[in-house]
Amino acid sequence: MALNFDHETLGQRVCFGAGQATSNLKAALAALEATKVMVIAGDFELPMAKRILSDIEVAVWHSDVVMHVPVETAEAARKIAAENNIDALVSVGGGSTTGLAKAVALTSGIPIIAVPSTYAGSEATNVWGLTEAARKTTGVDNKVLPAVVIYDSELTLSLPVEMSVASGLNGMAHCIDSLWAPKADPINAAMVVEGIRALAAGLPKIIADPTGIPGRDEALYGAYLAAVSFASAGSGLHHKICHVLGGTFNLPHAQTHATVLPYVLAFNAPFAPEAEKRAAVAFGTATALEGLQKLRAEVNAPEKLADYGFSADGIAEAVSIILEKVPANNPRPVTAENLSELLTAALNGTDPAALSTQN
């Protein structure tokens, strides 16, 4: 088979090791020669952040973290960073925390050291997102790519099992969406396969032993591969849908991704047989949907958008916004009719295998 593709690899240092967050963070700050550090951590993660940085000098502790990064929240953080002459940002937490650090870096160029406590994956991408007037806008800029990512699976122990599952399936969404995203290529597809395998192996271990490191290590590793593949491949249909549901309807990020994923997979898979086959091989099942649904049942995954505040009244508005954002190369033509069917099924938690495969 002849190969023809253009792949860009992002430059980023990754430090991976349970119980090593403090030592790795010290080394990373020293390498940046940082003297004015701003730590961004939400109220839940703030005690964890203060423990990690207990003997590191911090100029600013900033905990005003809001889901989907409202523009007003970003502007306030940018102002604080400028007033304090910050020369390094340390984000400790999940996707919202990393997202706020990226918003500051976007306009200032201040380097980020990301210390994730979830499986969101934002730390490994150069994608930023801001919400204004109930509309979420995303973009790509290398200024927002964290210079260093410090993975310490001990930090994920504070994440409840239910959220670990949702966050891990958010990582799985990065994998599957990358198979048919605008810049999908054989290199990011190879990372997708290993990412799916690692997440599918790690998440059940977290269920079986929530305080165990092996399962969380494997899930964190898988989430990183998922994010790297997503950063390379770009945002596909799944992410366009979830960004609208999150930004416009304020649905929770991880749970929304976890809920919508099987419906997008069922929607696109018949029209992308090679991509579907790769995912099926990674799951070790006859079809990708079978593997995903088997995993979702094993980990008691979120089932319907109705549980998170979405209603049928919002479907028409969501469809109109999503249709403007659908990638041109999506393997299946997207129409108001079949997109409405997808959202209705996700709203009610009906069997994704029952989605129509007609154009």
Residue 26 has pLDDT above 70, yes or no: yes
pTM for the whole thing? 0.93
Classify the C-alpha dihedral 26-28-33-34 as positive or negative: negative
What is the predicted pLDDT for the residue at 1? 56
DSSP β-ladder status, 88-93 and 112-116: parallel
**CATH code for the part of the protein at 13-156:** 3.40.50.1970
Residues 9, 232 contacting (CB under 8 angstroms): yes
175, 177, 183, 189: CA torsion to nearest 10: 30
pLDDT single digits (tens) 336-353? 999 999 999 999 999 999
CATH 1.20.1090.10 fits 160-354, yes or no: yes
Bridge partner list, 93: 116
pLDDT single digits (tens) 48-69? 999 999 999 999 999 999 999 9
Domain boundary assignment for the chain: 13-156, 160-354
Same fold, 13-156 and 160-354: no
pLDDT single digits (tens) 239-293? 999 999 999 999 999 999 999 999 999 999 999 999 999 999 999 999 999 999 9
Structure tokens at 286: 């006859």
